Structure formats: C-alpha cells, structure tokens
Chains A and B, each alone.
Chain A
Amino acid sequence: MFNEGTEFQRDGSQFDRLFEDGDAFQLGELLVQAWHTPGHTPACMSFVVGDAVFVGDTLFMPDSGTARVDFPGGDARTLYQSIQRILSLPGDTRLYLCHDYGGEGCREVQCMTTVAEERRANVHVRDGIELPEFVALREARDRSLAMPQLILPSLQVNMRAGRLPPADQDGRVFLKLPVNGL
C-alpha cells in the first residue's frame, strides 16, 4: 500500500525479537508467555504474566465488546477463537486492555477487567453467544465504523518498530498518504 520498495525489509528485522505462539521468556523471576491471538490483525499477541494478561486489541471492557476485524487480514471467526482461548483462563485473571473509550463517554475510562466479568457481561462474547451470532454482531458493527484518524501514519511508523521512514538527503522525513488505498 505504501510502495516502500526493496529497501524496506519485510522480515521483521526492525524488531529485536519475533514471538511465535507459546514462546516464553523471563521478566526477572516472572515467566511471560506469548500467545498468538489473531483476528483483529494477523500479528496480534497477548502476553500472559502470572495472573495478568495484556490482551491488546481482542477484548475491550464488557460494555464495549471486542476489536474490529475489518482491517486487512482481520477475521471475525479467528478473533472469536482467540478470545475463547483468553476466556478459558481462571475467572479472576486480570485482563489489561489496549484501549477504552469510556463506554462512548458514559463512564470513566478503565484499563482492566477480569475473565469472569467478560464471560458474564461482554456484549459480544459473554457466555452463551456462539460463533455465528458473534460474527453477525461484529461484522454489523464494523460496517458502522470509520477508519481510525491516524491509521495511515500509524502503519507506516509501526511496521518499522516505531521508527520514522528514512530521511531524504536534506534530512526531511515524509509520510505518505495513499489516495483510495484503504
């Protein structure tokens, strides 16, 4: 989409470590497990540390549901399976979210919920909502969503591990705005 040419490496080498599903590593005496939890995007991971999970864009607060699946590589069925895996953890597991919008302004923003609370009350994936109903809910919601304000600059920078594109000979850095690219 951004016509980056051959100088842009597509092998993940901008990062120091690429995690496969099930990889584990130490954080002091804590063990961190990397779980591949795709659906929102193909690269989505959740990091499981003791009784806490950093779930990225999979689940949101119960009143806000789940992450959108309409970006390239997103898939509602895949997201459902990833979420079921997270929700199979013990009920008191702390789930730390990547975003909260305060229930569209109706309450204070929050960063954490639990497996039990999501299973009881999540508007998209609480217990009893099966895959077909989830897919219908998720895809209907996605049809109502605009693209994120910062999607074009975000992708160009984040696919480089947060680095800006290379500067030109005068030291100037540019981001691209592909017309009709999304």
Chain B
Amino acid sequence: MTVQPHPAAAPRSRPDVTPFFHRATHTWSYLVVDPSTSHCAIVDPVMDFDQASGNTGFAAADVIIAEVRSRQLTLDWILETHVHADHLSAAPYLQQALGGRIGIGAGITVVQHTFG
C-alpha cells in the first residue's frame, strides 16, 4: 500500500521577500518575488507626505522601483492590506512606472461609505 503524504505536510513554496522601511511613518513595504519566474508583487508602498508643507514625494517609492528594475522583475500586483490611516499609498506612482494591478479587500466599499 502506498502512503500518500498529508497535504499539510507538503513543502510550502518560499517566496523571496525584500523589506523596505519608511522611517517617517514606521511602515514596512515589501517586494515579494517568485524566485522561479521573477514575477513580483509590492505590498503596501508609501508616498512621502510632509504635513507641514503639504508636499508629496516619491523617494521611498523610487527605491523600490530601482530594485525592481535592477533585478529585471515583472510587477504583477500592487497589494494594499487595508486603507491605511497612518501613511499615504504610492500605488498609482508604482503602477505608472512598472505596471501591475492594484488590489485591496472588497471591504473597501464599507470604508468608502464611512469616510466618503
């Protein structure tokens, strides 16, 4: 009789993860790479925002863009874990530079009704 391994015991895939720390807001953004195809996702990218002046900036996002380009990765997804209340997202800036689709939880509509 052949013993089948339990699915939970199967080895799990191991994505390559590069963290980026945004010091002003203490936020971690991530570049998640499939090592076998070089397709990647970016999780929770941050736009710089100086509240005193009202100025926006993209220094933090440019660091991630440079990493994607230097490793010749293909960006498939820009993922937001939620509607953040402590930093501004750089998702559209990254999408313009690198492509990919912006995704968020379907609960966004609740948040839009609450705050819109």
Q: Which residues of A contact B (CB under 8 A)?
A: 1-2, 4, 8-12, 15-20, 25-32, 34, 36, 38, 40-47, 49-52, 54-57, 71-73, 90, 94, 96-101, 109, 111-112, 148-151, 153-159, 161-164, 175
Contacts and interface: CB of A to CB of B under 8 A. Distances in A.
B12 interface: yes
Query: Interface SS of chain A: helix, strand, loop or mixed?
Result: loop
Contacts of B109: 10-12, 18
A158 B81 contact: no
Contacts of A111: 19, 21, 28, 30
B112 interface: yes
B28 A100 contact: yes
A20 B105 CA distance: 6
A159 B13 CA distance: 33
Contact of A54 (B21, B32, B37, B83): B32
Interface size classification for chain B: 35 or more
Interface of B: 8, 12-15, 17, 19, 21, 25-28, 30, 32, 34, 36-41, 43-44, 47, 49, 51, 54, 56, 76-77, 79-93, 101-116
Interface centre among A8, A20, A96, A163 (most CB of B within 10 A): A96
Contact of A27 (B28, B41, B54, B56): B41
Nearest to A48: B12
A25 B32 CA distance: 14
B91 A162 contact: yes
A25 B110 CA distance: 23
B41 A32 contact: yes
